[in-house]
Amino acid sequence: MEWPSILLAGFAVLFIGVAKAGFGGGLGMLVTPLCVLAFGPKTAIGILLPLLCAGDAFSLYHYWRKWRAENLKFLLPGTVVGIVIGVQLVGQFSPRQLNFAIGCIAVLFVIFQISKERLFRAAGAFTPTHQVGVPCGIVMGITSTFAHGAGPVAAMFLMPQRLPKEIFVGTSVLVFTFVNWIKLPFFCVDRALVDIPFFSAHALITPTTLLTSAQFFPLVPLGVWLGVWLNRRFSETNFVRVIYGVLLLTGLQLICNFDLAAPFR
């Protein structure tokens, strides 16, 4: 890897903890597009999943029991279905098509975040139900499989509940802990070698990706600590605006496929 790619990936991995422990995971949507630029789409997904699982574990420690666990029963049944659907589709797309899909998810996330206040301002507190939770879970499973990008959908389900900030973050951490650990076995089995229905056609987590994950692993607990510190000491407004700007530009890059390396040649 060249130094620009290493720095890009390092920032993205550091931001796993910042997003999860600081702002409930929604801003983690920035992580996958940056790592896709550094590693390519399929490799990035395989490298990130073990790091996301590690980020969940460290974040759970800081938000232990500060969650609304009943949300799991509404979201997880649909999430499992969505993951099964997602792993069947990943192998059907070229790297360019995956880049385009991840870029679209990133741009749509920014649009949703900008408009969410108007969407939810007039509504009262939402009481979660299976009628809403199962469809949300299915979409979470599919988007999480493609781009580790279920944050926007989870936010759409959790935000209308008007949870206190710390409970919102803790609940997001709890939900994504289950989502990421459910995905893990699906990404480790190569169906070309072991004929198991519903698993990924080609394992995205390999010894090579695990070695890369291990090299970046120390940045995960550092990011979690930084996220907790930011959550307790800073208003997220200006910080979030900067991240949305970076995410929007990254998403547009993945959609339009600009040659970012041209100025350095």
| pTM of the full structure | 0.78
Lowest mean pLDDT, pick from 4-18, 192-206, 214-228, 250-264: 250-264
Q: Which of 24-28, 127-131, 165-169 is modeled with the greatest confidence? A: 127-131
Residues near 138 by Cβ (< 8 Å), separated by ≥ 6?
78, 79, 81, 82, 85
Residue in the structure block whose two tokens are 């009943």: 70
Q: What is the mean pLDDT of residues 151-156?
A: 77
The encoded tokens of residue 39 equal: 């590693």
Assign 3-class secondary structure to 165-194.
HHHHHHHHHHHHHHHHHHHHHHHHCCCCCC
pLDDT in tens, 205-247: 888 999 999 999 999 999 999 888 877 776 656 656 766 776 6
Taking alpha carbons only, the member of 75, 80, 1, 89 closest to residue 45 is 89
Over the chain, what is the mean pLDDT?
Answer: 80
pLDDT at 45 over 80: yes
Burial class (CB in 10 A: 0-12, 13-18, 19+), 100: middle
What ranges do the domains of the chain cover?
Answer: 3-264
Angle at 14 between CA 188 and CA 148, to 5 degrees: 40
C-alpha to C-alpha distance for 144 and 142, rounded to whole angstroms: 5
C-alpha to C-alpha distance for 118 and 126, rounded to whole angstroms: 15
C-alpha to C-alpha distance for 86 and 230, rounded to whole angstroms: 34
Contacts 24+ apart (CB under 8 A), 232-238: 236/22, 236/23
| Pair 62, 21: CB distance under 8 Å | yes
pLDDT in tens, 111-122: 877 776 666 555
